[in-house]
Amino acid sequence: MKPFENLTVLDFTQFTSGPMCTSIMGDLGAEVIKIENPPYGDNNRYNPPSKNKNTCYISSLDHNKRSVLLNLKDERQKEIFFKMVETADVVVENFKAGTMEKFGCGYEKLKEINPQIVFASISGFGQTGPWKSRAAYDVVVQAVSGLMSVTGEKGGRPLRFGVSMADVTSGLMACVATLAALYDAKRTGVGRYIDLGMMDNVFALLEQPVTSYGITGIAAKPNGNRHPSAVPFAAFSCKRRVQVVICAFTDHDFAALCKILGYPEISDNPKFLTRNLRFKHEDECYDILCDLVKDWDAQELIEELNAKGIVCAKVNKVSEVYNMEQVAVRNMIVDAKWPDGTKVKIPGQPIKLSDMEEVAEYPVSPLGYDTIEVLSRYEETQIIHEIFDPILKESAELAAVRSEHLN
């Protein structure tokens, strides 16, 4: 049995941060009802890459969800939404600040209907402050939060992370906050409003650069693959330019590393005797180690390091990770299956709980696929057909046109 079974989540999210939050809850057993605005729904339905016009974004972030078309600007449809709120546990949205209030569906209104409702808002800059009305995408938050200023090669220009780090971590943090509020609601009978600003989240994750600046007054800069205070703790280039990460920053491990490399006397150098001394002379230390590592076969070096308990790993491509036994054993590549039979490989659920069966295949809903079935719980089926049959027909036609560019 999954821990969130019998939990109902009304999901207004789009793009990445919000869908990440609700995807976790869906994987752990919640019924997530993804409410999409007709006629097009979530923009991720039209973003490549895709397989048989079924996109990877929806496959990875919106599996295990029911897709319902609903327009809050329409009073009849909004009344159906209010009926959904009566028995729901959570509402999650990631619009610009104030959007749900503009529709008359903000937290103050919803808690009148259901005092235990937990309402989570994810936005670029939160619901308060001079930037609250600004729109934001992941790269904007990475830039303004300071994250990009510490990412990149030493001495080089700032770079964004290779993945949407601001988005995915904000989704994770919003999920943690939602679960905390749910626990409290079960205890007290009163829900909570969650105001999750992506900039706040990323700034909080900069624990070392922020704290260091508060102590020294010196702003951190890009440091490449090196650690900001531990040496050696970096990626090294072996034969054929294969990269290996080596973390031998304790004095014991550094001495063992030097012995493996054939020059144990390096660890007795007065400049390198302790971790702090190595950090003070890091460029000289790295120059020596890089020169010694470059002639090693990567796999042979990793085997030697592992034998001595030195933490290390080859820098893999995603294509290499796909074929790792460790990944297969941990069920970390699974299928997202669409109703037409299309299967898209996606990352598996990293949360492993006792007595929770591993899942190898997740269902995915096309746009509006569950509208009639789900909404018929809250209103007479005849009325639901009367309202939504024309909407579903128009959405299917327009979405098909917009999807023509997809594979």
Taking only the tens place, the pLDDT of each residue in 133-172 is 999 999 999 999 999 999 999 889 999 999 999 999 999 9
Q: In this predicted structure, what is the pLDDT of residue 40? A: 97
Angle between helices 165-188 and 198-205 (to 10 degrees): 100
What CA–CA distance (Å, rounded) separates 254 from 262?
A: 13
* Residue of 310, 376, 363, 300 lying closest to 337 (CA atoms): 363
pLDDT value, residue 256: 98
Of 392, 390, 384, 373, give the one whose Cα is nearest residue 80: 384
- Closest by CA position to 94, among listed 3, 22, 1: 22
pLDDT in tens, 163-199: 999 999 999 999 999 999 999 999 999 999 999 999 9
Buried b (16+ CB within 10 A) or exposed e, 2-35: bebeebbbbbbbbbbbbbbbbbbbbbbbbbbbbb
Q: Which two tokens stand for residue 55?
A: 């996109």
**Residue-wise pLDDT tens for the chain (407 aa)?**
899 999 999 999 999 999 999 999 999 999 999 999 999 999 999 999 999 999 999 999 999 999 999 999 999 999 999 999 999 999 999 999 999 999 999 999 999 999 999 999 999 999 999 999 999 999 999 999 999 999 999 889 999 999 999 999 999 999 999 999 999 999 999 999 999 999 999 999 998 999 999 999 999 999 999 998 899 999 999 999 999 999 999 999 999 999 999 999 999 999 999 999 999 999 999 999 999 999 999 999 999 999 999 999 999 999 999 999 999 999 999 999 999 999 999 999 999 999 999 999 999 999 999 999 999 999 999 999 999 999 999 999 999 999 999 98
DSSP per residue, 123-147: ESS-SSSTTTT----HHHHHHHTST
Q: Answer for the pair 260, 280: CB distance below 8 angstroms, yes or no.
A: no
Separation between Cα atoms, residue 397 and residue 238, nearest integer Å:
55
Q: List b or e across 146-159, with b for residues whose CB sees 16 or more CB atoms inside 10 angstroms.
A: bbbbbbbeeeeeee
pTM, entire model: 0.93
Q: Which CATH superfamily is domain 233-315 in?
A: formyl-coa transferase, domain 3 (3.30.1540.10)
Domain ranges, ordered by start, for the chain: 8-205+327-402, 233-315
Q: How far apart are CA 369 and CA 42, in angstroms?
A: 13
Number of helical (H) and strand (E) elements in the chain, helices listed first: 17, 14
> Catalytic one among 63, 227, 281, 385?
227
Give the count of beta carbons closer than 10 Å to the beta carbon of residue 401.
Answer: 8
* Ramachandran region, residue 228 (left: φ > 0; alpha: ψ -120 to 50; beta: rest): alpha
Q: What CA–CA distances, in Å, run from 112 to 82, 143, 158, 191, 327? A: 10, 39, 47, 11, 47
CA distance 61 to 213: 36
* Cα–Cα distance, 151 to 160 (Å, whole number): 7
- DSSP bridge partners of 91: 10, 119
In a 3-state reduction of DSSP, which class is residue 236?
strand
Q: Which CATH number fits domain 8-205+327-402: 3.90.580.10, 3.30.300.30, 3.40.50.10540, 3.30.200.20?
A: 3.40.50.10540
Residue 331: per-residue pLDDT = 97
Examine the residue annotation and report whether 227 is marked as an active-site residue of this protein: yes
Model pLDDT, residue 229: 87
